[in-house]
Amino acid sequence: MKKLCMIAMLLAASAIAIVPRALAASPQMPRYRFENFTTANGLPNNHVFAVLVDGDRVWAGTDNGLAVYENHAWKVYTTADGLAQRAVISLALDKRTGDVWAGTMGGLSRISGGHIDSFTQMNSGLSNDVVYNISVEGENVWIATAAGGCRLNLHTNQWSLYNERNTPMGEIWTYAVSATPTKVYYGIWGSGVLELDQKTGKWDRYDDPDGETEMVLYKDQGLIHEIVTSVSYIEKDNVLWAATYFGDSRYDGRYWHNFLVKDSGLPSNFTNQVKGLDANRAWFCTDKGLAYYDGVNWAVYRPSLTDGKPEMTVRDAKGVVTSVPVTTAPVHNYMLGIDFQGGDIWVATADGLSHGIRQP
């Protein structure tokens, strides 16, 4: 009987670590009041693949056109305006010119001063018309497509193609790109991460040391998985953040650190986008909520997976999870993209666009 009592006490003690505690005991993490936009507010479609903040304007790439929110109103661009295809799945801003680049399921479009030019395999050097991601670096527009990567030099109008013939790319399904003047990173579906040193022109490839398996055999020995969905390179810190459908990774040029649900505050290992802020902080868009990591603690924002009510949780360094009382949440828990407007966040989801207004 005494032994059974001892076991019960131990189980109760271990349960304390995972039962939500009082708000006062949780680390201070950013809190937001969310306002949500759908077709009822002017979006052309609720499936929002990508979001881009451009000063006071916010662009949303949807399944039925490109929308821009300005002065509390939406304007929509369609194929009738010159958009390459109606499904807009990626966005990038040229900060030098103010041009917005939109990757679609049928080509690449540039929105400049309200005018749209489109590039396809038929009229340009674009690798493939399915444009998954774009990164603007100086006069270069780097593009990730379903048939390799490519680059458009805006000064010379010349195209360069990157595929299995001239890079270590094993698969050509190129899902993500993050470009800076020093390095360019491509995330490949099934081929890990490719790194281009812009000074030397040398390519390196980073793979999952376990191979293409969903089992993690070697903790922090390399990239978490070969199926890479997003890359975010922070040049000033020389840190790469990489997202996959089976966890996330951080690489500082020497050491890898991997994140999984079982040992972090991620709500899911299935990550659509990672957006690094610096060497320690990053946002993760997963299929079960939005997560923020400050280098020590985690916060998750979403509608509850059980009852749909607004939910925010914080996980500290010891793994203790705290529920934070909130009255609003992003419109849906399947997150596809994020961008920042001062202290606010804008989040693309599978069922609308959410604006998180930072609270004191």
List, for residues 176-209, the tens digit of each pLDDT value. 999 999 999 999 999 999 999 999 999 999 998 8
Strand, helix or coil for residue 40: helix
Q: How many beta carbons lie within 10 A of that of residue 182, not counting itself?
A: 13
The residue ranking higher by pLDDT, 325 or 215, is 325
Strand, helix or coil for residue 18: coil
Q: Taking 50 as the threshold, does the pLDDT of residue 15 lie above it?
A: no
d(CA 206, CA 203): 10
Strand, helix or coil for residue 45: coil
Q: Token pair for residue 352?
A: 């609308």
List alpha helices for the chain, DSSP H. 2-16
For residues 247 and 291, the answer to whether their CB atoms sit within 8 Å is no
Q: Taking 60 as the threshold, does the pLDDT of residue 53 lie above it?
A: yes
Query: Is 167 part of a structural domain of the chain?
Result: yes
Query: Is 16 part of a structural domain of the chain?
Result: no
Question: Could you tell me the CATH number of the domain that includes residue 288?
Answer: 2.130.10.10
Which residues lie below 8 Å from residue 163, measured CB to CB, with a gap of 6+?
A: 127, 147, 148, 149, 169, 172
Query: Is 322 part of a structural domain of the chain?
Result: no
Can you say how many angstroms the Cα of residue 88 is from the centroid of all Cα atoms in its chain?
Answer: 15
Q: Which long-range contacts (CB under 8 A, 24 or more apart) does 319-322 make?
A: 319/17, 319/18, 320/17, 320/18, 320/21, 320/25, 321/18, 321/20, 321/265, 322/20, 322/21, 322/22, 322/23, 322/25, 322/26
| Confidence category of residue 255, pLDDT binned at 50, 70, 90 | very high
d(CA 348, CA 334): 9
Average pLDDT over residues 74-103: 98
E strands present in 8-154: 32-37, 48-54, 57-62, 65-70, 73-77, 88-93, 100-104, 107-112, 115-119, 131-137, 140-145, 148-153
Determine the structural domain holding residue 184 and report its residue range. 47-296
Average pLDDT over residues 304-322: 97
Task: Report pLDDT for 20.
Answer: 38
Task: Report pLDDT for 21.
Answer: 39
Q: Token pair for residue 277?
A: 């802020």
Query: Is 269 part of a structural domain of the chain?
Result: yes
| Confidence category of residue 212, pLDDT binned at 50, 70, 90 | low
d(CA 271, CA 265): 13
Q: Token pair for residue 111?
A: 């929105």
Predicted structure pTM score: 0.92
CA distances from 149 to 159, 172, 209, 213, 241 (A): 11, 8, 24, 25, 19
Query: Is 18 part of a structural domain of the chain?
Result: no
Strand, helix or coil for residue 319: coil
For residues 331 and 35, the answer to whether their CB atoms sit within 8 Å is no
Which residues lie below 8 Å from residue 8, measured CB to CB, with a gap of 6+?
A: none
Cα-based torsion angle of the residue sequence 275, 302, 72, 104 in order, rounded to the nearest 10 degrees: 50
Q: Taking 90 as the threshold, does the pLDDT of residue 9 lie above it?
A: no
Task: Report pLDDT for 221.
Answer: 86
Query: Is 20 part of a structural domain of the chain?
Result: no
Task: Report pLDDT for 308.
Answer: 96
Query: Is 144 part of a structural domain of the chain?
Result: yes
Query: Is 19 part of a structural domain of the chain?
Result: no
Query: Using alpha carbons only, how large is the chain's radius of gyration in Å?
Result: 21
The DSSP string of 291-316 is EEE-SS-EEEEEE-TTT--EEEEEE-
pLDDT > 70: percent of the chain: 92
Task: Report pLDDT for 213.
Answer: 66
Q: Taking 90 as the threshold, does the pLDDT of residue 2 lie above it?
A: no
Q: How many beta carbons lie within 10 A of that of residue 321, not counting itself?
A: 17
Q: Taking 90 as the threshold, does the pLDDT of residue 297 lie above it?
A: yes
Task: Report pLDDT for 231.
Answer: 98
d(CA 360, CA 347): 20
What's the pLDDT tens digit per position in 155-177? 999 999 999 999 999 999 999 99
d(CA 237, CA 253): 10
When divided into structural domains, the chain yields a total of 1
